[in-house]
Amino acid sequence: MNLILIKYFKKKKKMIGLLTGNVVLVIVLIVLGNFGVLPLRNIGDFAFFATLVFLLALYRPAWSFLFFIGTIMLENINLAPQEIGFSLRPFQLIGFLTLGAIIIRYFSGRLSFKLPKFSKIDVLVSIFLLAGFVSAVFSPEKGIAFKQAIILLSFGALYALTKIFIQDLSDLKKVLPFLLSSSFIIILYGIWQNWQFVHNAVHFEIMPGRPNATFAEPDWLGIYLVMILSVLYAMIFNSKLSNSERHLAENEEVKKENKGLFFEKIKERRFYRDFFVN
């Protein structure tokens, strides 16, 4: 058994390392956010952190995308200093820099994978994003409307990034461990918040008695947990379905083998009968 575990960990060494890095990153960002280190104090610190992320994205875009998935639930953590004038969540920074790195690698001929083709759904998304700017032109509050249109466009860019890396079911299976590992940390953090509240300690809850974990509101945490439960139920259902399909296939193989043996025995009996009778 020990040899099997050693072989498994050697085979999955890179994935286990990335998962460990993802969990550590989520925990560190939560702690820094709670202790006031985030958002970063000045543009220099922000530029240094962004440069490190961008270098990682240039070196391994797929790795930075996995960290993008792992930090997507850190909703109330802001990295951008006040001088920038807007908030920037960890997943947004990682996502935009990863998309920029992909564009650079594509035009430099160093992209190691093919980009997906433009589909009908992409046309609808593009029309929806364009409509935001068209409506902003005719809005009485043009400044606010254009700001909302830009925010909407940013989520369109993150949609494009997700489509690049998740093109089939096998890609989704590689991504899910990062989503679930981060979600486990978020759940523990929410439980810790309520524990701290019950014991009259510092709990970092927005609404005392209602844990919000890394979300802006407790309701958002509840919605996210429902989504995670749906993913887990789907995984369990597919696992049982695949097991039943495998057993059915094995039974079919056994039937074929038994059927083949049956006809072989009939042929043998006919051979011996003809040999001895004739």
The confidence band for 266, taking pLDDT boundaries of 50, 70 and 90, is: low
Label residue 150 by pLDDT band (50, 70, 90). Answer: confident
Structure tokens at 212: 């919000």
Q: Is residue 154 part of a domain?
A: yes
Which residue range(s) make up the domain with 136? 117-166
Q: Is residue 147 part of a domain?
A: yes
- Alpha carbon distance 64, 104 (integer Å): 15
- pLDDT of amino acid 109: 86
Domain presence at residue 58: no
Count of domains in the chain? 1
Structure tokens, 31: 């702690």
Query: What pTM did the predictor assign?
Result: 0.78
Q: For residue 148, is it within any domain?
A: yes
Rounded to the nearest 10 degrees, how much is the dihedral formed by the CA atoms of 6, 66, 89, 205? -40
What gap in Å lies between CA 63 and CA 170, rounded to an integer?
16
* Average pLDDT, integer, range 143-164: 84
Section 181-206 average pLDDT: 90
Dihedral pair phi/psi, residue 207, rounded to 5°: -115, 110
The mean pLDDT of 44-57, rounded to a whole number, is: 92
Q: What pLDDT shows up at residue 116?
A: 85
3-state SS assignment for residue 70: helix
**Using CA atoms, how far apart are residues 59 and 56, in angstroms rounded to an integer?**
5
| 251 occurs within a structural domain | no
Question: What does the pLDDT read at residue 21?
Answer: 93
The pLDDT confidence band at residue 183, using thresholds 50, 70 and 90, is very high
* Structure-model confidence comparison of residues 151 and 81, the more confident one: 81
Q: Is 93 among the domain residues?
A: no
- The CA distance from 98 to 267, in Å, is 66
Whether pLDDT at 27 is above 50: yes
Which of 146-150, 172-176, 216-220, 264-268 is predicted with the least confidence, judged by mean pLDDT? 264-268
- Among candidate residues 157, 61, 66, 69, the one with its CA nearest the CA of residue 111: 61
* Residue 267: per-residue pLDDT: 54
pLDDT band at 3 (very low <50, low <70, confident <90, very high): very low
- CA dist 205 and 28 (Å) reads 18
Q: Are 157 and 96 in contact (CB under 8 A)?
A: yes
52, 68 contact by CB (below 8 A)? no
- Residue 141 domain-assigned? yes
The three state secondary structure string of 150-201 is HHHHHHHHHHHHHHHHCCCHHHHHHHHHHHHHHHHHHHHHHHHHHHHHHCCC
Residue with the bigger pLDDT between 248 and 34: it is 34
Find the range with the poorest average confidence among 70-84, 108-122, 233-247: 233-247
For residue 39, is the peptide bond before it cis, meaning its omega torsion is within 30 degrees of 0?
yes
In the 8-state DSSP scheme, what is residue 42?
A: S
Q: Look at residue 264 in the predicted model and tell me its pLDDT.
A: 58
Is 13 part of any domain? Answer: no
Which pLDDT score is estimated for 272?
Answer: 45
